[in-house]
Amino acid sequence: MRRMLTALVVLVLAGAAAGCSSSAGPDSSGGVDRVKVGVIPIVDVAPIYLGQQRGFFGSRKIELSMESGQGGAVIVPGVVSGQFQFGFSNLTSLLIAQTKNVPVKAVAAGVASTGQAGKDFGGVAVRGDSPIKDAAGLAGQKIAVNTLKNIGDTTVRESVRKAGGDPATISFVEIPFANMPAAVQNGQVDAAWVVEPSLSQITAAGGRVVAWNYVDAAPELTVAAYFTSTKLAADNPGLVKRFTEAITESLTYAGAHPDEVRAALATYTKIDPKLRETLTLPEWPAQINRASVQALADLGARDGIFGTASPDLTKILP
């Protein structure tokens, strides 16, 4: 995955140097901007679908369409090349991109931890009969994350560190979130860092959460953000402003209408209806918690995921 990200960065920078531009622009029917957003088909992005349904984008003359990607390693190059005008990515991926001079910038908050151990949308889970009882017990174990050297392993290490274990002894393996419940159940891994709905799938099968890594990383952690290319931000600031206003309204509305969020999940995921009603929803604050992003940057630097560079939050945050 590390090689893939490096290769993608090279392609992104080459495309930027060649002058790739956004395809967003008014259509012929009255100045409506057609906008593509690269997203991940998970609970985190429910607000953008709900905002589309509620007309928050249409009222700002944005014709919105979403395109699914596997993660930031694919969405970031898509945004820079103009395949997408905006994208959704966890903050660590954006910090990695910034340290490699990839021309992107966050424009709005995306999703945040609830900040409550026992009531968060992400955690480290084990099988019910596992001898691992707490975060300290994760030391020396094989743990699944969806992407190596990213937000998962750095926050899991922090949970282990705070519990008195040695995070350097953890062996991380890369497994898609959707495959993690089976990997835990069949003993392929000792534990898995999972987010909803995989988290509820594991606990429904008798599994247990032994660490709440987002909670341990920082208070009210901003996990992800919506972002655009610096080129689009310079060439079409009006569109960026309207998109930011629309997604911010969507986040606020989603936070106040959890039942509508759960209904919206049915439009873009295959989550079982019963599970949709019981899974833990994240928080969707309207503002990025800058202090929590700095905590992610500090954790990533401590674990060496930025190489010799140091993230500059002024270049990536709005």
Q: What is the pLDDT of residue 243?
A: 98
Question: Is the alpha carbon torsion for 197, 78, 228, 7 positive or negative?
Answer: positive
Of 217, 236, 255, which residue sits at a domain end?
Answer: 217
Judgement on whether residues 270 and 206 belong to the same structural domain of the protein: no
Of 172, 202, 217, which residue sits at a domain end?
Answer: 217
Judgement on whether residues 18 and 108 belong to the same structural domain of the protein: yes
Q: What is the pLDDT of residue 74?
A: 76
Judgement on whether residues 107 and 13 belong to the same structural domain of the protein: yes
Judgement on whether residues 226 and 255 belong to the same structural domain of the protein: yes
Judgement on whether residues 100 and 198 belong to the same structural domain of the protein: no
Other beta carbons within 10 Å of 165 = 21
Judgement on whether residues 209 and 265 belong to the same structural domain of the protein: no
Q: From CA 44, how far away is CA 55, in angstroms rounded?
A: 19
Q: What is the pLDDT of residue 167?
A: 97
Judgement on whether residues 9 and 108 belong to the same structural domain of the protein: yes
Q: Which range marks the domain in which residue 179 is found?
A: 122-217
Q: What is the pLDDT of residue 1?
A: 43
- Phi/psi for 2 (5° steps) reads -65, -40
What total of structural domains would you count in the chain? 2
Of 42, 22, 24, the closest CA to residue 33 belongs to: 24
Judgement on whether residues 199 and 76 belong to the same structural domain of the protein: no
pTM (2 decimals)? 0.88
Judgement on whether residues 172 and 247 belong to the same structural domain of the protein: no
- The enclosing domain of 108 has a CATH number of 3.40.190.10
Q: From CA 172, how far away is CA 190, in angstroms rounded?
A: 10
Judgement on whether residues 199 and 267 belong to the same structural domain of the protein: no
Mean pLDDT, 10 residues at a time, over the chain (318 residues)?
A: 45 40 46 95 94 98 89 83 96 95 97 97 97 98 94 97 97 94 97 95 96 97 98 97 98 98 94 94 98 97 92 96
Judgement on whether residues 224 and 108 belong to the same structural domain of the protein: yes
Judgement on whether residues 202 and 230 belong to the same structural domain of the protein: no
Tokens of 114: 């609830």
